[in-house]
Amino acid sequence: MSKIPKGLELFSISLIFGGAVGNLIDRILLGKVVDFIDFYVGTWHWPAFNVADSALTIGIILFMLAAIMQSKKPSSGQ
């Protein structure tokens, strides 16, 4: 069994958990989640987000990639 998907799965779950906890802390302490990263590309406005949102998004993408890598791995004969 390859160690790359297991490490990637652990890292992605850590990002998801950290992002969720970060947003939960904001929600409990402030009553809202503070989105402070806000930028424009020309006249196009990207929705505001925060570091916790980024961690959640990256974690979910990495978890899906790990699942795809795991499903494409040849199964060992039993």
Which domain, by its residues, includes 31? 3-72
Asked if residue 23 is part of any domain, the answer here is yes
From first to last of the 78 residues of the chain, give the pLDDT tens digit.
455 558 889 999 999 999 999 999 999 999 999 999 999 999 999 999 999 999 999 999 999 998 898 888 776 655
Is the Cα dihedral 39, 8, 71, 17 positive or negative?
Answer: negative
- Please pick, among 11, 20, 35, 57, the residue that the annotation labels catalytic: 35
Asked if residue 9 is part of any domain, the answer here is yes
Measured at the CA of 55, the angle between CA 39 and CA 25, to 5 degrees, comes to 95
Q: How far apart are CA 65 and CA 67, in angstroms?
A: 5
Question: What pLDDT is recorded for position 6?
Answer: 80
Question: What pLDDT is recorded for position 4?
Answer: 53
Asked if residue 47 is part of any domain, the answer here is yes
Asked if residue 43 is part of any domain, the answer here is yes
Asked if residue 77 is part of any domain, the answer here is no
Q: How far apart are CA 11 and CA 6, in angstroms?
A: 9
- Please pick, among 20, 33, 49, 53, the residue that the annotation labels catalytic: 53
Q: How far apart are CA 31 and CA 28, in angstroms?
A: 6
Asked if residue 78 is part of any domain, the answer here is no
Is the Cα dihedral 19, 24, 30, 35 positive or negative?
Answer: positive
Question: What pLDDT is recorded for position 78?
Answer: 57
Split into its structural domains, the chain has a count of 1
Identify whether 38 is a catalytic site residue: no
